[in-house]
Amino acid sequence: MMAPFKFLIVALFTGFLVACGETGPAQGSAALPPQPITDADECHLCGMAIQNFPGPKGEVASRQGQIHKFCSTRDLLAWMLQPENRNQVAAFYVHDMARSDWQHPDDRHMIDGRNAWYVTGSSMKGAMGPTLASFSEEAAARAFAQQHGGHVIRFDAITLETLNTLTEAPHGHGEMKDMAHGAH
C-alpha cells in the first residue's frame, strides 16, 4: 500500500491530477453529474450506439460543461488519456460492475472513475472487445479478477500502453456477431 502522500506525487508526475486546479474557488462542484444513457447516445470516440453492447461504459464531464459518453471504459480512457484531452476533464464516471449486470450495465450505478478500481486483461468483453472492468470496491475488483482473470489497478496506473495491451483481439465488437445474425 502506498502512503497517500506518495500516491499524490505519483499522480502529479503522471499528469493525471487534472483536479489540481480544483482546489481553487468555484471549481470541483462545477463538474456535471453522470447522465442516463439513452438509445440515442453514441460513443464520443468510436461513434457506435452505446446501449447495444455489454460491459462497463463511461462518461466524461468536461470543463466546458458537456457530458461525453463512451461505449466502454476502454474508449473513455483511450480518449481522455490523449494529451489534448486530459485537461478538458472535470470529472469522469464509470459503471460499478459489482452492482451491474455485465450484459446490461445500470447507469444508476456510476462511480467516480478517478477513485475506481480497474481489472485489466480479463476474459470479459466490452463494446470494443477486451476492456477494463470498473469497481468502487477493491475487494469486488479482486473477486472479478479471480473469476475472469486479469489484474487489478488504480486509475493513476493506467496509461495508453495499458490500453494497447488489450488489443490482441483486433477491434472486436463484443456482440457484433450475434447482432449480425439477428440472434435472440
Residue 46 or 98 having the CB closest to Zn ion: 46
The answer to whether 46 contacts Cu ion (rule: CB under 5 A) is yes
Q: How far apart are CA 102 and CA 125, in angstroms?
A: 9
Q: And the C-alpha cell for 106?
A: 445500470
Q: How far is the CB of 47 from Cu ion (least distance, A)?
A: 7
- Per DSSP, the residues of 110-148 read EEEGGG-EEEES-S-EETTEE--EEESSHHHHHHHHHHH
Region binding Cu ion by CB under 5 A among candidate stretches 16-24, 48-56, 114-122, 141-149: 48-56
Least Cβ distance, residue 36 to Zn ion (angstroms) = 18
Measured from the CB atom, is 71 or 140 closer to Cu ion?
Answer: 71
The binder of 97, among Zn ion, Cu ion, none, by C-beta within 5 to 8 A per type, is none
Q: For Zn ion, which is the closer residue by CB, 45 or 116? A: 45
Site track for Cu ion across 99-138, x = CB under 5 A: -----------------------------x----------
Q: How many residues does the chain have?
A: 184
**Distance (Å, rounded) from C-alpha 46 to C-alpha 89?**
18
Q: Shortest distance, CB of residue 57 to Zn ion, whole angstroms?
A: 9
Angle at 154 between CA 111 and CA 29, to 5 degrees: 40
CB of 178 to Cu ion, least distance (A): 15
Around Cβ 183, how many Cβ atoms within 10 Å? 8
Total number of residues binding Cu ion (CB under 5 A)?
4
CA atoms of 91 and 51, how far apart (whole Å): 22
**Cell for 28?**
470541483
- Determine if 48 is a binding residue for Cu ion (CB under 5 A): yes
Where does this chain bind Cu ion (CB under 5 A)? 46, 48, 71, 128
